[in-house]
Copies of this chain bind each other. A is one copy, B any other.
Amino acid sequence: MLERFWKTQDYGAHASTVHRLASELAVDAAQRDQAGGTAWEQRHLLRESQLLSLSVPVEYGGPGEPWPLIYRIIRRLAAADGSLAHLFGFQHLQIASVVLYGNEQQKRRLLDRTLTDSAFWGNATNGLDQRLLIHRGETGLFLDGQKSFCSGATDSDMLNLTAVWAHDPTQRVFISLPTTRAGIRILDDWDNIGQRQTDSGTVIFDRVELSTEEILGPPGTAGTPRATLRPLVSQLILTEILIGNALGAVGAAIDYTVNSARPWMSSGLKRSADDPHIQRRYGHLWSGLHAACALSDSVQQRLQGLWEAGVSVSAEQRGELAIDVFQAKAFAARTALDVTAEVFDSLGARSTTRSLGLGRFWRNVRTHSLHDSLDYKYQDIGKWLIDGDLPVPSLYS
């Protein structure tokens, strides 16, 4: 039903792939949401789609697609399947991490593997979880500990992770490893109410060997404003997952309105679709959702500008972009929460049948929007408006 909208979105050379993949994911997204667990087949579809390497820069042999295109694809996929869109988005966050933090040799090696082996990347980089330590053993370095919220680790080929030195936990490093490395154990313990197939569970590291060249950099960009673009790339991924879920909810609700809903008994109408209140509600919800899209679109362009500017990005430019990103994220979250809840108002009680799966969009958004505190995002924006203060970059959000 949203075909009218999707046709306005430009996917460049990847249009047919994107549309096909979205359709394939949509087929059983509701059923897979109920089942939870790993979406092996759908991960395979992603691998086959060639979309996993989109963000590999041209200088490293990749297509070097700009961020706005990648975000647009996340939006499209999230309308069909929030979890798989998440995995797709985080793939590119891991690639971005290598691009930002790796030295030249590391970038060549890791990005090449992404291109030739269609490596699927997972992560164990949760900045709020400091339990993973690097020890210096007799035979070299090793990792010990665990990380929570490791989206995409299951069935991944490569794993990005952050860890702190056991002898100095204030020093954090960024590491890229093959997921098959001995001692890495990925638990199947993600069972949350939304984004249920993101495998965002725990990864255990039991004396996992580590070579120094697996620690990204130096030099890399660590310590530069450019390096701190990573959480902004990430926040806009979250933004598009939120928006995409809301678009998915509207699309599914309109389908239901047209094909299944009954007009309210006292309305005197033959079609629910002709109900003035229902028409008004869709128009109202869509306006807010379209505003969320427009805001995110415009911020993505600014991110792309700074991304292309390379190491010349100043702390002020990064800070102002952060303020923009925070707005796009917060606005998308609030809008998606409202939209995914209110679409039901235009339907009837039968629309809550579990097999229909219309509730998954709200559950996805409710879960996903708690990644970081909107209150503090708003406060950061307010401080900037009032005093011009720029937010301190964090590794988390």
* Chain A residues with a Cβ under 8 A of chain B: 1, 4, 128, 149, 191-194, 250, 254, 257-258, 264-267, 273, 275-284, 286-288, 290-292, 294-295, 297-298, 324, 326-327, 330-331, 334, 337, 341, 344-345, 347-349, 351-355, 358-359, 362-363, 366-367, 370-388, 392, 394, 396
Contacts and interface: CB of A to CB of B under 8 A. Distances in A.
Given A193-B359, A291-B331, A386-B257, A367 B349 contact: yes
Contacts of A381: 282-283, 286-287
A132 B383 CA distance: 36
Contact of A353 (B192, B288, B298, B392): B192
A295 B284 contact: no
B193 A352 contact: yes
A243 to B, nearest CB: 12
A324 to B, nearest CB: 8
A384 B392 CA distance: 33
Contacts of A149: 349
A362 B354 CA distance: 14
The 9 closest A-B pairs by CB, nearest first: A283-B378, A283-B381, A279-B382, A277-B375, A282-B382, A283-B382, A291-B291, A294-B295, A294-B294
8 contacts: A1-B385, A193-B352, A193-B353, A264-B376, A279-B382, A282-B386, A290-B327, A344-B366
A280 B386 contact: no
A265 B362 contact: no
A267 to B, nearest CB: 7
A385 B284 CA distance: 11
B297 A394 contact: no
Given A282-B382, A297-B294, A344-B370, A276 B276 contact: yes
Given A279-B379, A379-B276, A386 B258 contact: yes
Given A286-B382, A292-B291, A331-B287, A394 B341 contact: no
A397 to B, nearest CB: 9
B277 A280 contact: yes
